[in-house]
Structure formats: structure tokens, C-alpha cells
């Protein structure tokens, strides 16, 4: 069961960071208000980094 949570944390942190970057690039380019997409993308990336930190702390 521990391996499942390690995999889930690692995968979700990657998805949040990559999704945040995609949100910043595509949403900012196609929108009238790129600032809001930048905030949403940065928030998603920050959450992904927090989850990655939790993964490293649990793994050790």
C-alpha cells in the first residue's frame, strides 16, 4: 500500500506542474486576460511542488 501512495504522490505532482506550465503557455496565449491564466498555472505548479516535497519527505 505504501508504494501506491508513493506512486500517486509522484504522478500527481508531475501532472500539476506540467499542467500548470501548459495552462500558462496556452491559456495566456489564447485569452484576453493572460494574467489570470498565469496565476492559475503558478498556483497549480506550486501545489505540485508541495506534493513533490511531501513525496520526498515520505520516501526517506
Every domain of the chain and the residues it spans: 2-59
Asked if pLDDT for residue 40 goes beyond 70, the answer is yes
Q: Which of 48, 45, 41, 42 is nearest to 27 (CA)?
A: 41
CA–CA distance, 21 with 15 (Å, rounded to integer): 10
CA–CA distance, 49 with 17 (Å, rounded to integer): 7
Asked if pLDDT for residue 37 goes beyond 70, the answer is yes
Is there a contact between 14 and 55 (Cβ–Cβ < 8 Å)? no
What one-character DSSP code corresponds to residue 47? H
pLDDT at 45: 92
Better-predicted residue by pLDDT, 29 or 14: 14
pLDDT at 23: 87
Amino acid at each position: 500500500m505504501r508504494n501506491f501512495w508513493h506512486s500517486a504522490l509522484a504522478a500527481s505532482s508531475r501532472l500539476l506542474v506540467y499542467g500548470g506550465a501548459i495552462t500558462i503557455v496556452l491559456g495566456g496565449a489564447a485569452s484576453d486576460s493572460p494574467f489570470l491564466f498565469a496565476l492559475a498555472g503558478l498556483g497549480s505548479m506550486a501545489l505540485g511542488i508541495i506534493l513533490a516535497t511531501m513525496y520526498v519527505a515520505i520516501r526517506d
